[in-house]
A and B are shown apart, each in its own frame.
Chain A
Amino acid sequence: GDSVTQMEGPVTLSEEAFLTINCTYTATGYPSLFWYVQYPGEGLQLLLKATKADDKGSNKGFEATYRKETTSFHLEKGSVQVSDSAVYFCALGSNYQLIWGAGTKLIIKP
């Protein structure tokens, strides 16, 4: 069945560092791909999405490109801030449901 694998955390970076959180997927068909973020004490929020191959989703300085050839949807940000500290979830939309990665905790130190 469809599945999502993302890198284990926690990922600890210094402020202004470059961020990559890897996400790969297996799927039949052509799913949509998502990154959700959960800030401490808050609910899940949609960060960005891409609906087809080569689409790039972007929001708040974060980007991810839907790569069909490598079945990947890696999350990147050029310069992270302390306020980016959160748990990030990669997800795949299949048959109107979301299939989730395990989540990656990101810790940004000043």
Chain B
Amino acid sequence: GAVVSQHPSRVICKSGTSVKIECRSLDFQATTMFWYRQFPKQSLMLMATSNEGSKATYEQGVEKDKFLINHASLTLSTLTVTSAHPEDSSFYICSAGGPGGTDTQYFGPGTRLTVL
């Protein structure tokens, strides 16, 4: 149980285009989902916290107009990287607060974004 999927697992795009990443909780409902960014050989950086039906809460330094987050249902959150640039290339990971309380998070497998 408590499985989280992400799609796509890998995406390559041209500079200036937008990319949407989906995060789904497959066998539970997630009121809260989290989006992280992981740089090579570094820890995770929390980008934003999204609650179903409300606006996401962004961490300091994260541009909300660039990283659009939508949490339209209890099983789906999306992250859209708008007008992507090479510096946005990274590993994006979502997690969902699952059974056992939202202090336990279940992670998706991540999405590798490469912007050319």
Measured CB to CB, the residues of A under 8 A from B are 31-32, 34, 36, 42-46, 49, 51, 89, 93, 96-98, 100-103
Contacts and interface: CB of A to CB of B under 8 A. Distances in A.
B97 A43 contact: no
Contacts of A51: 103
Contacts of A103: 42-43
B108 to A, nearest CB: 6
Contacts of B93: 43-44
A43 B106 CA distance: 10
A31 B101 CA distance: 13
Contacts of B62: none
Given A42-B109, A43-B93, A96-B32, A101 B43 contact: yes
A45 B94 CA distance: 12
